[in-house]
Amino acid sequence: MTAVENEHSDPTDALSSAPAWGARRELPIAGKVKFCYGPMDCGKSTLALQIDHNLARQGRQGLLLVRHDRSGAPQITSRIGITRTAVEVESDTDLCALVRRAWASGRHVDYLIVDEAQFLSPAQVEQLGELADDAHVDVYCFGIATDFRSELFPGARRLFELADELQPVQVEVLCWCGLPGRFNARVRDGRVVREGDTVFVADTEGPARSTAEVNSVPTRAQSETATVRYQVLCRRHFRRGDLGPTVSHQGQLRLT
Ligand SMILES: [Zn+2]
């Protein structure tokens, strides 16, 4: 442990209510909370599984958590076909208690991988901070920053506030104009929708079963939901609601 040199030269010490010497002499090892964020289809889940793989190869043990995976099952599913079983986080799951239970069952937890982290509650994000600080768990969160209105999800907001590291995931998702795609536009009947239920996630490819309803989506007529899809746009075209020359892309899911 390295003592902090010249700590008494720190002019704020005189004003601090903390002891003149204290924890800073023996800095405790804290875990880190990292938030990797990007729009839909940018490869966040693939990166999550890659990081898990790398950490496991170093002999570290982790837990994979997911809140509302797009497959509808508790697993982390990447769009390139890799899947790993994960623990489903419910709206009232206490993440500290979850890790304590793992410990109690003899399972070591060095790190957590949390996919779809935008759907965590702010309180759950705070629990992740507690795990990092007090239990030295490294936490890797992956998720979307903003909803279809281009406003932060509450969980993402709390992660931006509390995370030690923020990393935009390398975006290879392009708007139809060629600029990096940054916003997930909700499209109904060929028009960008600006109002409605905040969370309502759909896959943008694959079979219809991959549609996941999130939180409480009110019942709506099938005819109304049948034409809802998502399209990633740059900021300019998101603002203008301009879906480009080909409004209907093959491979984009329609909610059924
Ligand atoms: Zn654009």
Query: 31-86, pLDDT tens digit by residue?
Result: 999 999 998 877 888 889 999 999 999 999 999 999 876 566 788 888 778 888 89
Q: Is residue 100 part of a domain?
A: yes
pLDDT confidence of residue 7: 45
What is the distance in A from the centroid of ligand 1 to the CA of 234?
4
Q: Is residue 200 part of a domain?
A: no
Q: Is residue 256 part of a domain?
A: no
Q: Is residue 115 part of a domain?
A: yes
Q: Is residue 180 part of a domain?
A: no
pLDDT band at 220 (very low <50, low <70, confident <90, very high): very low
- 26 vs 116, residue with greater confidence: 116
pLDDT confidence of residue 173: 85
What is the distance in A from the centroid of ligand 1 to the CA of 165?
28
pLDDT over 80 at 17, yes or no: no
**Residue 77 bridge partners (DSSP):** 83
pLDDT confidence of residue 204: 40
Instruction: Quote the CA–CA distance of 29 and 132 in Å, as a whole number.
Output: 9
Take residue 224 and report the two structure tokens written for it: 């109304």
What does pLDDT average to over the chain? Answer: 79
What is the distance in A from the centroid of ligand 1 to the CA of 148?
15
pLDDT over 80 at 26, yes or no: no
Q: How much is the pTM?
A: 0.73
Say which range, 44-48, 89-93, 143-147, 241-245, has the weakest mean pLDDT: 44-48
* Count: domains in the chain: 1
Question: In which domain, by residue range, is 91 found?
Answer: 29-168
What is the distance in A from the centroid of ligand 1 to the CA of 6?
53
What is the distance in A from the centroid of ligand 1 to the CA of 210?
27
Structure confidence by residue, pLDDT tens digits, 109-154? 999 999 999 999 999 999 999 999 999 999 999 999 999 999 999 9
Residues having C-beta closer than 5 Å to ion ligand 1: 175, 177, 179, 234, 237
Q: Is residue 157 part of a domain?
A: yes
pLDDT confidence of residue 42: 79
Please identify which of the residues 90, 116, 130, 165 carries the catalytic annotation. Answer: 116
What is the distance in A from the centroid of ligand 1 to the CA of 55?
37
User: If you average pLDDT over residues 245-252, what whole number do you get?
Assistant: 56
Q: Is residue 133 part of a domain?
A: yes
Q: Is residue 56 part of a domain?
A: yes
- 217 vs 47, residue with greater confidence: 47
Whether 205 is a known active-site residue: answer: no
What is the distance in A from the centroid of ligand 1 to the CA of 175?
5
Name every residue whose Cβ is closer than 8 Å to that of residue 221 and which is 6 or more positions away in sequence: none
Structure confidence by residue, pLDDT tens digits, 167-202? 998 767 889 999 989 899 999 988 999 988 766 554
Instruction: Quote the CA–CA distance of 57 and 48 in Å, as a whole number.
Output: 14
CATH number, domain with residue 52: 3.40.50.300
* Cβ pair 203, 70 in contact under 8 A: yes
Residue with tokens 């060095």: 110
- DSSP of 109-145, one letter per residue? -SEEEEESGGGS-HHHHHHHHHHHHHH--EEEEEE-S
* Cβ pair 115, 65 in contact under 8 A: yes
Take residue 162 and report the two structure tokens written for it: 């509390």
Instruction: Report residue 231: phi and psi, to 5°.
Output: -140, 130
Instruction: Quote the CA–CA distance of 241 and 152 in Å, as a whole number.
Output: 19
pLDDT over 90 at 208, yes or no: no
pLDDT confidence of residue 200: 56
pLDDT confidence of residue 20: 53
pLDDT over 50 at 222, yes or no: no
What is the distance in A from the centroid of ligand 1 to the CA of 65?
33
Closest by alpha carbon to 52, among 139, 144, 143?
139
Residue with tokens 């991988």: 113
